[in-house]
Amino acid sequence: MCALKTSDPEIWGAIEHERSRQRDGLELIASENYTSAAVLEAAGTILTNKYAEGYPGRRYYGGCEHVDVIETLARDRACKLFGAEHANVQPHAGSQANMAVYLTVLKPGDTYLALNLAHGGHLTHGMSLNFSGQLYHAIHYGVRQSDHRIDFDQVVALAREHKPKLIVTGASAYPCEIDHGRFAEIAREVGALFMVDMAHYAGLVAAGLHNSPIPVADYVTSTSHKTLRGPRSGFILTREANAKAIDKTVFPGMQGGPLMHIVAAKAVCFHEALQPAFKDYARQIVANAKTLAETLVSGGIKLASGGTDNHLMLADVTAIGLTGKIAESSLDRAGITVNMNMIPFDQRKALDPSGIRIGTPALTTRGMKEAEMKRVGGWILQVLKAPGDEANLTRVRGEIREFCRNFPVPGI
């Protein structure tokens, strides 16, 4: 960092402040994590200098012999990790991975079925302002009001009524396991293709803790930076029969040169996830989420679906007289980072919804376990019960800073 400090002290300074923020606070954003030092190193290499449009062995630039090795390793490792036939590791992010599948299998105006954003879905699953809602006719299923689990009766009814070309599942704020097999049966019955966006729970799939979409889905998309703990990026898994079409859509269809430093970092992440220790890590993410959920519930917080089966939970803070925005900002002032989030059947708007989303992947990476989750839950409760008490927030922040010293962040 010395060169940067000298040449651009403003950017260097902001990065240093962010480094302290990541080290001194409790990171509970469900879609974030801390990469290993090795992933960070790969992402920060001279590979950023290289153009490599095309695929290994078929590039449009000279000098690609070394990046070919890297991309081939990344693809092979992704396939081995998830038991897939083909991997495209070039999508810059999850949105691009999803876009690549849509562009491959849908024509503008075609109908597809996906989970409602307000019930835990994702922007790229057909939100009206997103390309996925503008270019295509997105129909949405939701969760049941009674237990906040996916309403399969509604999925079946909508699939039969609309005969979508594609059925999509996967979520960014859904605390339960998704039954991919059930979706696959419905897709088969109505003659639809089936895509799973496993971005949030990919690490749990890799560890065998969540049923895998690979055997039953036509296309699986993911990010690499959430439970999978890699660099910020995306990838697509599919059968060999779909390989040519999906590769052609990613390049030259929608992207130019792949970010080879990030492809290398993805290869490192897949290698790490193939190690036995990753299974222990993923198990601990889920155990930590359960303990944190129990702590919050016993402190009077209402959770969507009553708890969690995976790495995240959704708390309805209106039940204790707050809004998601107030909860997010008071927790922030105490050194606890979460994001405000809609809860199913929310009566409020996305910019100040009724809930907050809380996830355990990042704290688990720091080595925190169940005992620490009880303390973390205790601090969350102390803040939410007195969100305007600045002295209390300052006291909690100090305690958290001290506590965090015992749990180093990899790479810091």
Binding site for ligand DSN (CB under 6 A): 31, 94, 122, 172
Distance from the Cα of residue 192 to its chain's centroid: 25
Nearest CB to ligand DSN, comparing residues 172 and 212: 172
Q: Among the options 71, 197, 247, 346, which is catalytic?
A: 197
CB atoms < 10 A from the CB of 163, how many? 12
Say if strands 137-141 and 54-55 run parallel, antiparallel, or are unpaired.
Answer: unpaired
From the CB of residue 406, how many other CB atoms can be counted at a distance below 10 Å?
A: 10
Q: Is 197 a catalytic residue?
A: yes
CB of 327 to ligand DSN, least distance (A): 16
192 vs 206, which CB is nearer to ligand DSN? 206
> Least CB distance from residue 53 to ligand DSN, whole Å?
26
305 SS3 class: helix
Q: Report yes or no: 202 and 223 within 8 Å, Cβ to Cβ.
A: yes
CB 124, min distance to ligand DSN, A: 8
Please tell me what DSSP assigns to residue 356.
E
**Which of 51, 239, 302, 399 does the annotation list as catalytic?**
51
C-alpha–C-alpha distance, residues 129 and 134, integer Å: 7
60 Cβ contact list (under 8 Å, min separation 6): 53, 54
Between the two ends of the chain, the Cα-to-Cα distance in Å is: 12
Annotation says 53 is catalytic: yes
Pick 122 or 311: Cβ nearer ligand DSN: 122
- Give least dist CB 372 to ligand DSN, A: 23
- Measured CA to CA, the distance from residue 114 to residue 166 in angstroms comes to 9
DSSP state of 409: P
Q: Would you say 18 or 402 has its CB closer to ligand DSN?
A: 18
Asked if residue 238 lies in contact with residue 246, where contact means CB atoms within 8 angstroms, the answer is yes
Say which of 32, 53, 370, 399 is annotated catalytic.
53
Q: To the nearest whole angstrom, how small is the minimum distance from the Cβ of residue 31 to ligand DSN?
A: 3
Count Cα neighbours of 40 within 13 Å in the Cβ-side half-sphere: 9
Query: How many Cβ atoms from other residues are within 10 Å of residue 14's Cβ?
Result: 11
Query: Can you spell out the DSSP letters for 74-121?
Result: HHHHHHHHHT-SEEE---SSHHHHHHHHHHHH--TT-EEEEE-GGGT-
Q: Which is nearer to ligand DSN, 91 or 94 (CB)?
A: 94
Catalytic residue, candidates 226, 229, 290, 357: 226
Least gap, CB of 199 to ligand DSN (angstroms): 6
Least distance (Å) from ligand DSN to the CB of residue 245?
24
- The C-alpha angle 134, 119, 142, rounded to 5 degrees, equals 85
Closer to ligand DSN by CB, 95 or 284: give it. Answer: 95
Beta carbon nearer to ligand DSN, 198 or 376: 198
Cβ proximity of 241 and 104 under 8 Å: no
The pairing of beta strand 219-223 with beta strand 193-197: parallel
Active site residues: 51, 53, 197, 223, 226, 232
